[in-house]
Amino acid sequence: MSTFEQKNWFTEVHADVESAYSLKITEKLAEQQSPFQKVEIFQTTQFGKLMTIDGCTMVSSRENFLYHEMMTHPALFTHDNPETVVIIGGGDCGTLKEVLKHQGVKQAYQIDIDEVVTQMAEQYFPELCESNNDPRATIMFDDGIKFMKDAAPNSIDIVIVDSTDPIGPGEGLFNHAFYESCLTALKPGGILVQQSESPLYHLSLLTAMRHAMEDVGFADLQTLNFPQPIYPSGWWSCTLARKSQSIDGFREDDVKQATFETLYYNAEIHQAAKALPNFVKKAFARS
């Protein structure tokens, strides 16, 4: 993916499908080349602030709740009692904020490779960072691949991979070796959840991710789909993989009685997100 410059518009070109997505902007607020990637912040006219990494849209003020809630609550309400949660990537801190809404969580670790992303989020998206000082939160800057490789076996309830696309530093978060590390580090019944791109544009990648998760020994998988206007195609997914036992049910009564607010997620949305179109089911089937 690449961008082209046009006055007053940010445009992300999706070269693989020869299409593009644009947001009208009034100015570029910041730009920093970190050792890993180029992070930019724009002021848009309708979507609030926009963070991009290497020209790809990451977070906008207006609609990030869709992604952050779906990366978090389905997995945490599927697990019986999630206490230890690890977020790989997620440097904008929006996923961490959603995780910490669950009072049962005792420890949440966020491991992003790039400190610049979190510094920019603290400055331009303070609403996503409001739980960063929660005593249960540990924010680290390190390679998530190494962190999971070194994690103690059977020590984590939920791993959330909130990463960039599988290019650059995110590439190694989408392969067998990484999934093996996650499987080992999860406790029995533990769940890995990973952003798994667009069912429309990236179906072969999504299918390969699922097959790799199965190949390393995850017992059950579930792909959830949800809208995400600023990502390619506007239709996004996350995939849950459970170390042992079925992933199908969730604590529906607890969702209905949740003491915290969500803007998108609820029990009906959780059910609906599980419904997959025929072309997606067909791609997932293994002969």
Could you list the residues known to form a binding site, using ranges: 37, 68, 92, 112, 143-144, 162-165, 169
Neighbouring residues of 131: CB distance < 8 A, sequence distance ≥ 6: 93, 96, 97, 100, 137
CB 143 to ligand SAM: min, Å = 5
Q: Indicate the residue whose CB is closest to ligand SAM.
A: 89
**Residue 87 or 191 with smaller CB distance to ligand SAM:** 87
CB 246 to ligand SAM: min, Å = 27
User: Residues 162, 220, 248, 253: which is the catalytic one?
Assistant: 162
Report the C-alpha gap between 198 and 104 in whole angstroms: 31
CA dihedral 272, 277, 280, 284 (to 10 degrees): 70
Query: Applying CB under 6 A, which residues contact ligand SAM?
Result: 58, 67, 88-92, 111-114, 117, 143-145, 162-164, 169-170, 173, 195
Binding residues for S-methyl-5'-thioadenosine: 37, 112, 143-144, 169
**Residue 145 or 206 with smaller CB distance to ligand SAM:** 145
**Residue 77 or 125 with smaller CB distance to ligand SAM:** 125
CB 164 to ligand SAM: min, Å = 5
Report the C-alpha gap between 216 and 211 in whole angstroms: 9
Dihedral sign for Cα atoms in the order 118, 121, 126, 131: negative
Binding residues for spermidine: 68, 92, 162-165
Q: List the Cα angle 72/134/80 in 5-degree steps.
A: 40
**Residue 82 or 170 with smaller CB distance to ligand SAM:** 170
- 162 annotated active-site: yes
The residues annotated with a catalytic role in the active site are 162
